[in-house]
Amino acid sequence: MNARLVVVLVFVVVGLLAILHLKENDPETDGTFLPPCSFHEVTGLHCPGCGGTRAGHALANLRVGDALKKNALVVVLLPFLVVGIALEGLAWVKGRDYRGPRVRLPRGLSWWLPGVIIGFWILRNVPMWPFDLLAPR
Amino acid sequence: MEWYYAKHGEKQGPVSLATLRSMVVTGEVAQTDLVWKKGMADWVPAGQVGEISGVDSEPPATPVASPASGSQIPQAEVGIAGPVAHERIPNYLVQSILVTILCCWPFGIPAIIAAAKVDGLVARGDIAGAMDASKKAKTWAWVSFGSGMVFVVLYLALIGLGVISEF
């Protein structure tokens, strides 16, 4: 069997176990193996991923509203990331033989995604309404 | 005539036509890998260069051979180089977003910016620029991943030493 396929399968199994672990453990009360954000620990500011673990916990328990309050960006990007990770994994396993689809930004939107992420980063650190709605809460 | 070819996003060569032909035969250079020699306006897939692939069924790459002028850009986009090159140059977009969100440090931002440029550059026919952006995205993604990993290792070590308690 292809060595890369083994690596990907290990990642899939570890990923599924991690999702199960995240579903059972609330990062706010029990952070076992759920490290906090290093950027937040050092600077006190929120990074674009801050609240992502808590959002994942809420999503794993099917509480979409709570997930959006913790990190709206992660929730919105998640479906694309799941598809993207699957395609990149497949492409990596197949190597040069891969001819399938890959994640591509629509033309003309290439500045849109970095803009949204950088904007989200800045705005969620502005300590006033309505921007504080973007911070984990 | 000296030929160059692109492998894993990097320019290789120069090699002679005979060498390049044998590399295509052995599969070391795929039909879809981009090749270029002096005098060509742009990189094209090896399979579309008759003298390399030995297949002359394709018209000799007319849209690619002509230097792209402003009015021809939309045509070049759907032309021969576009879709093939698209598949060959990874944009590392997914990886860049993941490291930005998971590793928290600002190193993910240059990765995303470079990754977002790759496809646009390919569409404009700037293959060298696209490869460069692809490489930058990859490098920054690794830097970001490394910085995140350093923190996780430190964090787990500090828990192990009992310096900080789990919460």
Give the list of residues 6+ apart from residue A112 with CB closer than 8 angstroms, or none.
A105
Query: In angstroms, rounded to a whole number, what is the distance separating the alpha carbons of residues B90 and B10?
Result: 12
Q: What is the DSSP letter of B45?
A: E
For chain B, the average pLDDT equals 77
The per-residue pLDDT for B73 is: 41
Total H helices, total E strands in chain B: 8, 4
Contact A135, A66 (CB under 8 A): no
β-pair partners for B3: B15, B37
Angle B110-B114-B119 from CA coordinates, rounded to 5°: 160
**Chain A residue whose CA is closest to B102:** A49
- Distance in angstroms (rounded) separating the CA atoms of residues B131 and A19: 35
The pLDDT of residue B38 is above 60: yes
Q: Rounded CA gap, A52 and B29, in Å?
A: 42
The residue extents of the domains of chain A are: 3-134
Strands B44-45 and B3-7, by their bridges, are: unpaired
Look up residue A133 and give its two tokens. 């709605």
pLDDT, residue A31, reads 64
For chain A, which ranges sit under pLDDT 70? 1, 31
- State both tokens at A79: 């479906």
Q: Is B17 helix (H, G, I), strand (E, B) or coil?
A: helix
Global pTM?
0.67
Whether A114 sits inside 8 A of B94 (CB atoms) is no
Question: Worst-scoring range by mean pLDDT, A112-121, B97-106, B140-149?
Answer: B97-106
Report the pLDDT averaged over residues B84-103.
81
Mean of pLDDT values over B66-90: 47
> Do B167 and A31 lie within an 8 Å CB cutoff?
yes
Q: Which two tokens stand for residue A32?
A: 């076992």
The answer to whether the CB of B92 falls within 8 A of the CB of A113 is: no
Encode pLDDT of A94-117 as tens digits. 887 788 888 888 777 778 888 999
Task: Compare CB distances from A114 to B94, B116, B119 and report the shortest one's residue.
Answer: B116
Q: Do B90 and A102 touch (CB under 8 A)?
A: yes
> Quick check: B97 contacting A, CB < 8 Å?
yes
ipTM of the complex: 0.87
Residue B43 has pLDDT above 80, yes or no: yes
